[in-house]
Amino acid sequence: MGSRFLIILDTHVLVWLDAGDSRLGRKARRALDRALAREDMAVSAISFWEVERLRRKGRLRMSQPVDSWRRDLLEGGLQEIAVDGELGIRAAALVNLDADPADRLIVATALSAGTLVTADKKILDWDSDLARLDASN
């Protein structure tokens, strides 16, 4: 991941950004636009797994298959950060974060690579040194 500062998108923020969802606040949208222009926007690979699970459960409608959506996003400048053993260990070791495994992996990714943009109150309220931006602002 190197020393580059990245904006890491939580899964729901990725979906909101792509869909032009009004739940994404103006301040967050400006930050994301700047990051994308600099090619400093990334997502954990686990987010695509989450999107496909939500789609299969009928909780998320997609206009195209998730694999082609992913490819389009990556071709548009979004970076994908792989989940590896080191990241998995870091995610499992997070203290006082009551979150599902995918959220833990996303948080661990942000701790390693930059600032997390999320509207998840559990993550926003978590007492830690995680750099974060409230996506609803």
In a domain, 108, yes or no: yes
pLDDT surpasses 50 at 127: yes
Work out the mean pLDDT of the chain and round it to a whole number.
94
Q: How far apart are CA 65 and CA 63, in angstroms?
A: 7
pLDDT of residue 136: 97
pLDDT of residue 101: 95
Q: How far apart are CA 41 and CA 45, in angstroms?
A: 13
In a domain, 1, yes or no: no
pLDDT of residue 4: 60
pLDDT of residue 18: 94
Q: Give me the CATH number covering residue 89.
A: 3.40.50.1010
In a domain, 113, yes or no: yes
pLDDT in tens, 4-54: 689 999 999 999 999 999 999 999 999 999 999 999 999 999 999 999 999
Domain boundaries, position 10: 6-134
pLDDT surpasses 70 at 80: yes
In a domain, 103, yes or no: yes
In a domain, 15, yes or no: yes
Which of 96-106 are b and which e, b meaning 16 or more Cβ less than 10 Å from the residue's Cβ? ebebeebbbbb
- Helices of type H across the chain: 11-19, 26-37, 46-56, 66-75, 85-92, 101-113, 121-124
Contact between 94 and 123 under an 8 Å Cβ cutoff? The reply is no
Contact between 17 and 24 under an 8 Å Cβ cutoff? The reply is yes
The token pair that represents 84 in the structure block: 């590896």
Number of independent structural domains in the chain: 1
pLDDT of residue 1: 45
pLDDT surpasses 50 at 132: yes
Q: Predicted confidence band at 98 (pLDDT cuts at 50, 70, 90)?
A: confident
